[in-house]
Amino acid sequence: MSGSTAAPAGGDRVTAALAWLRRRLTGEYEVDEFGFDPDLAQRVFLPTLRPLYRHWFRTELIGADRLPARGPALVVANHSGTVALDALMLAVGVHDATGRHLRLLGADFVFRTPVVSELARKAGVTLACHADAERLLRSGQLVGVFPEGVKGVGKLYRDRYRLQRFGRGGFVAAALRTGSPIVPVAIVGAEEIYPRIGDIRPLARLLGIPYFPVTPAFPWLGPLGLIPLPSKWLIEIGEPIDTRERTGDADDPLLVFNLADQVLETIQQALHRLLRQRPDPFGW
């Protein structure tokens, strides 16, 4: 369905906005089999997040040229910040540097939660499972994964920048099986946005979420406590790890664990280095 038939002429912003609105209202856009809506991502999600990335967190992207311009790759990053804003900021950084959409893998509670699940799917997120990760990689996508998962985002402020265990290393197996390079990424800054000092367990259980965070501002200041602190962010893209020659290693648990540890170690060292570059978490 092309939206151009009998569309009113004119090249200005109002005309373009109205034409876009008409296309949205009549369903004339494409969604892929994962539910990713590139038109919505490009015109709504990314423009909404970009001011946060550029002006609120003053994010610096280091080594963007190491991101592959085409073909599959598995981008592996550390996870933190109580709310998974780091994943969204990484997606903005990757998109603006390469023009490619980072297809994130999310925990199942994301898909259990109404509204959130649908926003996630439209933004290109899918469930962190072998089938989806490998399908995306086989179709040549750039896939983003946070192997620490909920343990990483939900850790306490005193544990900041200490990487948690990398799950069962499933992400490594997915990369090996599809021969996709693994790109380690270190993110500094997300740990300070909602410094979590506690947890209200009964409330978390009631709401069906992994934890109910307590920060110096939340829930005491109400909605004000939801504003992330304006920390300074550094995102460093590491040297890609080639896996093309190692496709057979995917079924050897020991080799998988070793490679997962190697990725973890690389990211941990990069974090230490970046923290020295950024002595003041809230500086410019």
How far apart, in Å, are the Cα atoms of 41 and each of 91, 102, 265, 273?
11, 11, 33, 33
Return the number of the residue (132 or 191) whose C-beta is nearest other proteins.
Answer: 132
Q: How far is the CB of 225 from other proteins (least distance, A)?
A: 24
The 3-state DSSP class for residue 38 equals helix
Residue 45 tokens read as 């999600």
From the list 170, 107, 165, the residue with the least C-alpha distance to 134 is 170
Distance CA 30, CA 144 (A): 22
- Residue 7 binds other proteins (CB under 8 A): yes
| Binding residue (CB under 8 A) for other proteins from 2, 4, 25, 223 | 25
- Residue 157 binds other proteins (CB under 8 A): no
Distance CA 137, CA 146 (A): 16
Q: How far is the CB of 275 from other proteins (least distance, A)?
A: 36
Q: Which stretch binds other proteins (CB under 8 A): 126-134, 154-162, 179-187, 271-279?
A: 126-134
Q: Which of residues 87-116 bind other proteins (CB under 8 A)?
A: 108, 111-112, 114-115
CB of 134 closer than 8 Å to CB of 174 = yes
Distance CA 3, CA 39 (A): 13
| Binding residue (CB under 8 A) for other proteins from 78, 92, 132, 184 | 132
- Residue 254 binds other proteins (CB under 8 A): no
- Residue 150 binds other proteins (CB under 8 A): no
Query: What DSSP element (H or E) covers 104?
Result: strand 102-106
CB of 67 closer than 8 Å to CB of 73 = yes
Q: How far is the CB of 40 from other proteins (least distance, A)?
A: 10
Return the number of the residue (21 or 226) whose C-beta is nearest other proteins.
Answer: 21
Point out which residues bind other proteins (CB under 8 A): 1, 6-8, 10, 14-15, 18-19, 21-22, 24-29, 31-35, 37, 108, 111-112, 114-115, 117-118, 121-122, 126-127, 129, 131-132, 135
